[in-house]
Structure 1
Amino acid sequence: MTAWYEKSFGEDYLLVYKHRDVHGAYEEVHKMIHWLKLHPHADVLDLCCGMGRHSLALADAGFQVTGVDLSDVLLNEARELDTDHRVRWYHADMRRLPLKARFDAVVNLFTSFGYFPEDVEQLKVLRAMHDVLRPGGSFIIDFINTAHVKKHLVPHSVREDEGQRIEELRRIQDGFVQKEIRITDLTAGTEPRIYKESVKLYAREELSGMLQEAELQVDQVHGSYDEEIYDEQTSPRMIFVGHRPAD
């Protein structure tokens, strides 16, 4: 059976999420550099890099950047944007990284975590991050905040873009936030193309415990890129910043 993340990050994903802007990525990278305390020319891995907005912003900031993603479609988009070939792009599953290099920092951004039904699979991602980090290297995991999701979830929305009707249905079920996306070509009269998204919800203590199990130490948790302090009830994000302890 094909997992949802093997199907959903294709050409239609570029349409659904094209509102994500490049300028915002540069602002977020500026904050990440401050949190991670990166030295000039540091080696940074963007794990689940998507179409490469943050990878390219990190490269522009002077870092040596590697981007990894499972989606060939998104990687091809990233390569087209990377006109100067500044980033090394790799196709890989985030649980099994075919990288021999060690990195000064690993970033996993905008809820590119929690994709698997079992915690043991999420733990494989954290252990993979540990293994590619140099001792003392730092990490960011930018995740959704469960309380905020529950309070602000929009069950249903519809919009039109490029002649396509985009309908999104959202719900929380069995500890996951679930989304179904239906895209209908308004000119062709065909059946909608349907995609699923499913992300496991975690409390701060749960994810902190998993990071500890993966031998990664949490130093700070931020509530957004504009919030230095995380508030469990009100923060929109749950951004973990930490490091791999020295061996």
Structure 2
Amino acid sequence: MKPWYEQSFGSDYMLVYKHRDWENAAKEVHQMISLLHLSEEARVLDIGCGMGRHALALSSFGYSVTGIDLSPSLLEEARRHDLQGAVKWELGDMRELPFDACAFDATVNFFTSFGYFSNEDDNVKVLRNIRRVLRPDGSFLIDFLNPVYVEQTLVPRSERRDEDTGLVIQELRSIADGWVQKEITVFHPQSKEAPREYLERVKLYKLEWFESRLADCGLSLEQLYGNYDASPYEAAKSPRMIMAGRAV
């Protein structure tokens, strides 16, 4: 059986996360990218770019942007929105980035596009690849969930109906063995078709893990924020861990 991240990021993913709008993506990028102090026309790699919301926002600010993702379906959607062909879209695995060493001035990793792999070495390999493709003193940004906040605020179950399709989306959330997972079921109440089921899992890596592994991989953590407004990180209250720094 394929791992969950090769099954879940398809056309239904775009339905499940339909509420993530493009306008908010632009606002998030504008705030976060200011933390990296990039020069005009900087070469930026969006790792796990998905439908391309953040990559296209980065491009609109004048950067030379490449977006990479493992999902052909999401990349197809990204290209559909990229009417001007502003971004280079690449199909690939974040553990083996298909780019030359020092190819980018900055890398970004938005909305918890990290911690997917059961083997910890695979997650560390992502960090090593970030360092490899960054030029010396290049900037990185990793936007990850805050495990403490997740554990305190997890909503076990939710259900909603998509007005356009009539499909019902059920989500069951749980934490076990250091992972937060979401079981997603998509179905139409009047259809005889079998429900479509997906699983999403993210390792609940804490700040101490990132501090240690980033340093081991040649990445210096210099800034830490708790949300997209660049508010200070508070372990018990912040919804995000937004980490920024440089290649050493």
TM-score interval (norm. to shorter): over 0.9
Q: What does residue 128 of structure 1 align with? A: 129
Question: Does 1:30 find its partner at 2:30?
Answer: yes
Q: 1:224 aligns with which of 223, 227, 230?
A: 227
Larger mean CA deviation between 37-46 and 182-191 belongs to: 182-191
Q: What does residue 93 of structure 2 align with? A: 93
Give 3-state SS (helix, strand or coil) of 2:242's partner: strand
Structure 2 length normalisation: TM-score? 0.97
Distance 1:182 1:135 in 2: 45
Q: What does residue 157 of structure 2 align with? A: 156
Q: What does residue 202 of structure 2 align with? A: 199
Q: Which amino acid aligns with 1:84?
A: Q
Q: What does residue 146 of structure 2 align with? A: 145
Deviations 1:82-112 (A, max 9, x none): 0100100000000001112610100001000
**Following TM superposition, by how much is the alpha carbon of 1:227 offset from its aligned partner in structure 2, in angstroms?**
3.5
Q: Which amino acid aligns with 1:176?
A: W
Q: What does residue 41 of structure 2 align with? A: 41
Distance 2:238 2:221 in 1: 18
Asked if the contact 1:95–1:125 (Cα under 8 Å) also holds between the matched residues in 2, the reply is yes
**Following TM superposition, by how much is the alpha carbon of 1:228 offset from its aligned partner in structure 2, in angstroms?**
3.1
Distance 1:243 1:63 in 2: 18
Runs of 4+ in structure 1 over 4 Å off:
none
Q: What does residue 213 of structure 2 align with? A: 210
Asked if the contact 2:138–2:246 (Cα under 8 Å) also holds between the matched residues in 1, the reply is yes
Structure 1 residues not aligned, in runs of 5+: none
Q: Which amino acid aligns with 2:74?
A: L
Asked if the contact 2:32–2:230 (Cα under 8 Å) also holds between the matched residues in 1, the reply is no
Distance 2:150 2:82 in 1: 33
Give 3-state SS (helix, strand or coil) of 1:33's partner: helix
Give 3-state SS (helix, strand or coil) of 2:54's partner: helix
Give 3-state SS (helix, strand or coil) of 1:139's partner: strand
Distance 1:39 1:167 in 2: 44
Question: Does 1:61 find its partner at 2:64?
Answer: no
Distance 1:179 1:33 in 2: 29
Q: What does residue 114 of structure 1 align with? A: 115
Give 3-state SS (helix, strand or coil) of 1:170's partner: strand
Asked if the contact 1:163–1:187 (Cα under 8 Å) also holds between the matched residues in 2, the reply is no
Distance 2:131 2:246 in 1: 9
Give 3-state SS (helix, strand or coil) of 1:110's partner: coil
